[in-house]
Amino acid sequence: MDRELEQHKQSEVEYLEVELQQQRGMLWLLGEIMKEAVNISSFKQLMAILTDMLMGVMGVTTCYLWIKHKDDYKVYFRSVELQNDFREIRTLDIPMILRDLHGSYTFGKEEIVSPLIDCINIPLSRLAVPLKDFNDNSIFGALVLEHEQPNFFTDNTIAFFETLTIFISINAQNSRLLQSVSMESQTDPLTGTYNRRHLEKALDKIYIAKTVMTVAVMDTDNFKQINDALGHLKGDMVLKAISQLAKGSVKEYGGEVVRYGGDEFVILIPVPIDEAIHILEEFRRVVYYIQLTYDIDMPVTVTLGACSYPDMVDDPHLAVRAADNALIRGKTKGKNRVVLAIEEDISQSKMGVLNE
């Protein structure tokens, strides 16, 4: 009897030693993840490192993270079945089995009847932990871990992942807040278009990537007279209407609209110039039907100058200058037209750079 009691106590000691070692490992892992977070600039990078650590240290075979955005979800995941590659996809919804999570949930073997993503096999163990917004206690996503062995997740590992989701939730919320602040700093508050700060970054990216880009500079014709006749409030409404039409005209092509200053805008369309000219002409014609100035018999019209990178100039910044020069020529020709940059406009733009 004493022998059996001694063996039982020895087994308990060994079990507690394993538990203690596991807890130490989890605390070490949490500390490493937190240290990595200090030096990482994006939430996606953090998730790439986090999923890699979970796979390596915790031994899970698949790790998913669902994060809700405005109208859809982003899914970050990594799996041994995908050679441990880190992947990111967008999906319109979260799986039904995760939709009503209010706390951590370990799925029984009989409950795991399908994969969460088609390219992953059905596991034998699955743990899901919700991500909470601590401002209103709402759920905005889930961390899901899977393993090919049954009953893989213990009370210790569940407690660890519950702690980890607090860290992930805080970082996700901070990331979205920083993204929102960044967007605000690059957005014109009146029109909702991008501002010049964004334009400089966009032009640099275009240059580095050698992206085909048509650049147009647009100016509202007779804007001072509209302001003088109707007041600045109505003038602001005209600018908003024009900018919204411009955004709508280029949206399907992946284009962007930037308020360059006053009533002047820059339009970026990632298509060749011959295709872009048709888009700009259609936009110019539609502007005429803005009804905000009908009572003073002064229709809203715009003049646009256009240039293309890299087939017309070797720098997208020069394309803006050349398009602006073409715009000036368009104004002298009678306004309400789209004018393509010519060699004179391009030469003047290069001279302007040399003189700065």
Select from 36, 120, 108, 110 the least CA-distant residue to 78.
Answer: 120
End-to-end CA distance of the chain: 96
Give the Å distances, CA to CA, from 95 to 114, 130, 143. Answer: 11, 13, 12
Return left, alpha or beta for 192; rule: phi > 0 is left, psi -120 to 50 is alpha, else beta. Answer: left
Contact 243, 256 (CB under 8 A): no
Report the distance separating Cα 54 and Cα 61, nearest Å: 9
Q: Give every strand in the sheet of 105-107, ordered side by side.
A: 86-91, 73-79, 62-68, 138-147, 125-133, 105-107
Name the residue type at position 115: P
Bridge partners, residue 105, by sequence? 128
Give how far Cα 131 sits from Cα of 41, 104, 111, 126, 274, Å.
21, 10, 22, 16, 49
d(CA 342, CA 348): 10
Question: What are the structural domains of the chain?
Answer: 2-184 (3.30.450.40), 196-355 (3.30.70.270)
Q: What are phi and psi of 189, to 5 degrees?
A: -65, -25
CB contact at 8 A, 219 and 276: no
d(CA 22, CA 2): 30
The first and second tokens of residue 331, run together, are 């104004």
CA distance 43 to 68: 13
Residue 247's nearest CA partner among 238, 260, 236, 256 is 256
| Structural tokens at position 191 | 């029109």
pTM of the model: 0.54
CA–CA separation, 177 vs 174, rounded Å?
5
pLDDT in 10s for each residue of the chain, 356 residues: 566 666 656 666 555 565 566 667 677 777 777 777 666 667 788 888 888 888 888 889 999 999 887 778 889 999 998 889 999 988 888 888 898 888 999 998 889 999 998 888 899 999 999 998 877 888 889 999 999 999 999 888 888 889 888 888 887 777 665 555 555 567 888 888 988 888 998 999 899 989 999 999 999 998 888 888 888 888 889 899 999 999 999 999 999 999 998 899 999 999 999 999 999 999 999 998 887 766 667 788 999 999 999 999 999 999 999 999 999 999 998 899 999 999 988 888 777 554 44
